[in-house]
Structure 1
Amino acid sequence: MEQTKILGVAMWLTLVCPTLQITINAEKEPVYLWPMPKSVVWGKISRPIPLSPMFQIVAPNHKNLQNAVSRYSRLVFTDHWFPIESSSAYDLHTSDPTVMPPLEQLNIRVQDLDADLQHGVDESYTLTIPAGGEANLTARTAWGAMRGLETFSQLLRRGSDASVCPIIIPRPVKIFDGPLYPHRGILLDTGRNFYTVKDILRTIRAMSYNKLNVFHWHITDSQSFPLDLPSEPALAQKGAYSSAMRYSQRDVRDIVEYGRNHGVRVVPEIDTPGHSASWAEAYPDIVACAGMFWWNPNSSWSDRLASEPGAGQLNPLNPKTFEVVRNVVDDVASLFPEDFFHAGSDEVVPGCWKTDPAIQKFVAKGGTLDQLLEKFVSTTHPYITSRNKTAVYWEDVLLDDTVKVRPEILPRETTILQTWNNGPNNTKLITAAGYRAIVSSADFFLFGLWPRRVAGQR
């Protein structure tokens, strides 16, 4: 497998970043950081020092970085960890003459303040806390500086005698870190289960504490269409669970900006052509098998209309389908500054399309369902790339057993495939075919509620 083609790893609810090799001076007990940096080097003689009550962080003028500085300036005095096992790195003897004056300042230096928060941006940093004097954090970009701020905050803990020294930090230490993968994400599904904006912001905040950088927002699904779009207002008006369970354009802007303030990209997913029963509330004519029961348990699993309750797939033979999809793509692309646009394309079920009379005639004349999916993807892919976006699809679009497209339909330079089935095997197939891959194997990373398998069901 080509290492360079693996963009990253993503979890459906939560993910632990890969643990990297750590270098620690043998004379020093480790300090536990999360995720573990690439390199932690201690000085030969060290003592922790108190954090000054007047401690300040000095950083260059960058909107999102300044927001992070304000946040961490509060956190260093309020949020602290307590180790299960003691470490000599935090042994503070106030009568010891080697104890230095308190740490007064952390200086941040950024080489490229113009680097935007997009895939592949440099997130490396170097954090130095010397034996004496001020601490320094250097990074190529503001986003790397944010990662360094998180590491700095994790070094702090409350002293054993809060009246003498409420907060202490070990020194001297030099830490270097940078991500193994440029894409480290969490997927949150708001199509099946609505989450408030407050819940989403809390999730993004927790991601930043773990140095995760991609919030994959699976916005819509068969169950609901909760996103208000100016060109297609009926989709949310009729397709959301309720008027209270919708995301306004202002909500989206707030979530995107909150993500940037935490170094987290927000990648939107509008799942098509499958998982789109909710579109039928506004446009019943463009959705095949809408309103039909998803699966008769007395029939074969291969005869199902959907892989879960909520049958409905967009119909590529109806020209209105592409008019609506084009409007949706344009609106979503305008709302999200992110370079990636996730277009879904997983679990396209043959039984659903076969219920439509027009598709029945198409097949009777020698057409195939693969050709139908190819028509949809080849038509809508340019909608995405014309907005200077890279199209992301679930692996099914290329690897599904029953309905898939040929590789020539998916340009490798503008397409990324995300794996979720068959462990690492599908990742190997995707990279061998020349595509970049995001790994989110359901065998390891999927947390959710799934219906119990019925006897005899594959």
Structure 2
Amino acid sequence: MKKVIISFLFLCSVLVQLKAQDVFQTRGFCIAAPSAKQLNTFIKFIEEELAPRKVNTLVLRIDFNYQFKSHPELIDGGALTNQDVKKIVAACKRNQIRIIPQINLLGHQSWASTVGKLLKVYPEFDETPHVKMPEKYEWPNADGLYCKSYCPLHPDVHKVVFDLVDEICDAFEADAFHAGMDEVFYIGDDKCPRCSGLNKAELYANEVNKISNHLALTKRQLWIWGDRLIDGKTTGIGAWEASMNNTHQAIDLINKNVMICDWHYERPDQTAVYFAMKGLSVITCPWKNVNNAVAQTRDMINFKKAATSTLKPRYEGMMQTIWSGADSFLAEFYGQKGTSENSEVNCFKALFNEINQTK
């Protein structure tokens, strides 16, 4: 009798686990690649923190923090070697974690007063060369400068960026690639000799599709952030978590196999439903607000429960995002510096506690 009861309890636990896994096909964690000196700590974090929480997807923001052979001129100082990358790959394989590398494409080609590596080496790719980087960055500013973009119609830009994409996907043995593409404020600029006067939504959609189609040649999927596909004016969500320059109309023009990472940090806005109803698979992404992360997780459960059989598979799951950098996050996680109630560390813990309690 005792064996029967134990077997029954074990079966129940398996069913609960399967149910949680069915709701959250993607249980993701997004963070910048660690520095070489923190590589072992990062692998320890994968083994001892991500794996026990049943994280199954790691989006690793690489940008130029890799020793590219195809374009060594674009390597940042202290970049990871291929040997370093293979250590991360091995740790993820041991724990059935899918790795998706990210390089910011289109937007985020500068930060504050510093031009990023791509435009520094290839200034001809700049969508807005007339906008000069300030000595001291402030927002708002007369140029509307947040981050620079590359011109999607420059005839040489894709040869360079696709070399990087292919190499980093090969290095990580990845079946998907995250292109970023969030917070694109500069697109179709009036002074651009190629883009001036063109429809911004079409420019954005064409760039998404160009990247998606390139990845499809090697049977890889494109992931992007979803903010540029939301109408910031109609929704009232605004210019950061949605678009105020009309790129939102691209939602009806992009390939339906593109994965949308729908991030909302200030409020738990329920735009996942919008993406699903447009035929796109979607993952909800919190940052550091604990209450929002819990609410967003419960929303995802409810969306899936209430959805039609057609919509249900499009609600893919949740992904914690970390923006402080891997080294800083690890220092906070392991108690080497202080934390607050609403922090990335506490949000991460709360999110996966909520996911793993799903019944």
TM-score range (shorter-chain normalised) is: 0.5 to 0.7
Q: Quick check: 2:61–2:102 contact (8 Å CA) kept in 1?
A: yes
Match of 1:334 among 143, 163, 170: 170
Q: What is the distance in 2 between the residues matched to 1:430 and 1:182?
A: 17
Alignment-mate amino acid for residue 288 of structure 1: E
**Match for residue 281 of structure 2?**
436
**Match for residue 133 of structure 2?**
292
1:295-314 equivalence runs, <5 A: 296-297=138-139, 299=141, 303-306=143-146, 311-314=147-150
Q: 1:45–1:389: structure 2 CA closer, same or farther, 3 Å change rule?
A: closer
Q: Deviations over 1:372-404 (max 9, x none)?
A: 323322322211111101111110242223252
Q: 1:446–1:252: structure 2 CA closer, same or farther, 3 Å change rule?
A: closer
Higher relative contact order (CA closer than 8 Å, sequence separation 6+): 2
Alignment-mate amino acid for residue 160 of structure 2: V
Q: Deviations over 1:76-110 (max 9, x none)?
A: xxxxxxxxxxxxxxxxxxxxxxxxxxxxxxxxxxx
**Match for residue 227 of structure 1?**
66
**Match for residue 386 of structure 1?**
217
Alignment-mate amino acid for residue 313 of structure 1: S
Q: TM-score, normalised by structure 2?
A: 0.64
Q: Deviations over 1:308-356 (max 9, x none)?
A: xxx3311113111111122122212322333221111111013x76385
Alignment-mate amino acid for residue 417 of structure 1: I
1:208 aligns to 2:208 (yes or no):
no
Alignment-mate amino acid for residue 155 of structure 2: P
Q: What is the distance in 1 between the residues matched to 2:180 and 2:55?
A: 22
**Match for residue 270 of structure 1?**
103
**Match for residue 255 of structure 1?**
88
Q: Quick check: 2:175–2:221 contact (8 Å CA) kept in 1?
A: yes
Q: Quick check: 2:188–2:203 contact (8 Å CA) kept in 1?
A: no
1:43-192 equivalence runs, <5 A: 43=2, 175-176=13-14, 177-178=17-18, 179=21, 180-190=23-33
Secondary structure at the aligned position of 1:406 is classed as: helix
How many residues align? The count is 264
Q: Deviations over 1:218-275 (max 9, x none)?
A: 112xxxx211222122111xxx1x2xx2111222222112101122111111111111
Q: What is the distance in 1 between the residues matched to 2:83 and 2:36?
A: 17
Match of 1:354 among 155, 171, 189: 189
Q: Quick check: 2:125–2:157 contact (8 Å CA) kept in 1?
A: yes
Alignment-mate amino acid for residue 210 of structure 1: R
**Match for residue 268 of structure 2?**
423
Q: 1:173–1:296: structure 2 CA closer, same or farther, 3 Å change rule?
A: closer
Cα distance, 1:283 vs structure 2: 1.8
Secondary structure at the aligned position of 1:217 is classed as: strand
Q: 1:190–1:281: structure 2 CA closer, same or farther, 3 Å change rule?
A: farther
Percent identity at matched positions? 19
Alignment-mate amino acid for residue 437 of structure 1: V
**Match for residue 203 of structure 2?**
372
Q: Quick check: 2:212–2:221 contact (8 Å CA) kept in 1?
A: no
Q: Quick check: 1:267–1:340 contact (8 Å CA) kept in 2?
A: yes
Secondary structure at the aligned position of 2:204 is classed as: helix
* Greater displacement, 271-280 / 174-183: 174-183
Q: Quick check: 1:393–1:418 contact (8 Å CA) kept in 2?
A: yes
Q: Quick check: 2:169–2:176 contact (8 Å CA) kept in 1?
A: no
Alignment-mate amino acid for residue 334 of structure 1: D
RMSD (Å), alpha carbons: 3.2
Cα distance, 1:44 vs structure 2: 8.5
Cα distance, 1:423 vs structure 2: 2.3
Q: Deviations over 1:273-324 (max 9, x none)?
A: 1112231232222133476138544646xx5211xxxx33111131111111
Q: 1:354–1:296: structure 2 CA closer, same or farther, 3 Å change rule?
A: farther
Alignment-mate amino acid for residue 275 of structure 1: H
Match of 1:283 among 95, 109, 122: 122
Q: 1:234–1:403: structure 2 CA closer, same or farther, 3 Å change rule?
A: farther
Q: 1:183–1:331: structure 2 CA closer, same or farther, 3 Å change rule?
A: same
Q: Quick check: 2:30–2:321 contact (8 Å CA) kept in 1?
A: no
Gaps of 5+ in 1: 1-41, 47-127, 131-171, 451-458
Alignment-mate amino acid for residue 369 of structure 1: K
Q: Deviations over 1:118-144 (max 9, x none)?
A: xxxxxxxxxx789xxxxxxxxxxxxxx
Q: 1:256–1:446: structure 2 CA closer, same or farther, 3 Å change rule?
A: closer
Q: What is the distance in 2 between the residues matched to 1:403 and 1:43?
A: 65
Secondary structure at the aligned position of 2:210 is classed as: helix
The structure whose Rg is larger is 1
Q: What is the distance in 2 between the residues matched to 1:395 and 1:298?
A: 23
